[in-house]
């Protein structure tokens, strides 16, 4: 947990929200609507569109994660197919531990239990991603998935309910 002292200044966050997601699953559907909803409500959200994709997490993403008050992890069936997503998730939990960042989870078409235990289709995808990776990488990613799977998150049933619940939770966190 992040330490604080009465003499230190309150932390200033560059972004209200950082989202971690598997682009092909949610970028043009769920995420575009979430981005629009946040924009209409004055909630700043990091936009990764200008970052070149690669094999390792880019410094810009690591920095954006650390500069965001809240991370929302949108877990979809193929989230674990991306090393990029898994590395982001590890960084998010480092920021939670080191900076006290709030982490929220949205389970978009996946069961939290499958994420937590890496079972079902989600587990199959994760195992394929881990093939030819070190045991340390697999263990680190698995722990991050277990941690995010243990978060009481929102289940995606319909657009309106999910957006309403996410926005309600954000309003609560920003009122603290």
Task: Give catalytic residues, as residue numbers.
Answer: 88
Distance CA 153, CA 157 (A): 12
Q: Spell 97-132 as b/e; 16+ CB within 10 A means b.
A: eebebbbbbbbbebbbebbbebeeebeebbeebbee
Q: Are 108 and 166 in contact (CB under 8 A)?
A: no
Torsion sign, CA atoms 65, 117, 23, 51: positive
Q: Show Cβ contacts of residue 74 under 8 Å, excluding neighbours closer than 6 positions.
A: 19, 20, 21, 22, 26, 30, 31, 106, 108
């Amino acid at each position: 947990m992040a330490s604080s002292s009465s003499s230190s200044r309150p932390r200033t966050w560059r972004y209200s929200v950082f989202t971690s997601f598997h682009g092909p699953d949610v970028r043009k559907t769920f995420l575009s609507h979430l981005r629009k909803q946040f924009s209409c409500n004055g909630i700043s959200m990091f936009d990764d569109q200008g970052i070149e994709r690669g094999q390792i997490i880019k410094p810009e993403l690591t920095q954006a994660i650390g500069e965001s008050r809240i991370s929302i992890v949108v877990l979809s069936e193929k989230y674990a197919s991306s090393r990029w997503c898994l590395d982001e998730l590890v960084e998010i939990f480092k920021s939670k531990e080191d900076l006290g960042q709030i982490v929220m989870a949205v389970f978009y078409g996946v069961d939290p239990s499958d994420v937590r235990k890496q079972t079902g289709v989600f587990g199959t995808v994760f195992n394929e991603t881990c093939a030819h990776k070190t045991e340390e990488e697999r263990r680190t990613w698995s722990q991050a998935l277990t941690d995010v799977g243990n978060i009481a998150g929102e289940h995606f049933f319909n657009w309106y309910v999910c957006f309403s619940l996410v926005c309600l939770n954000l309003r609560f966190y920003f009122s603290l």
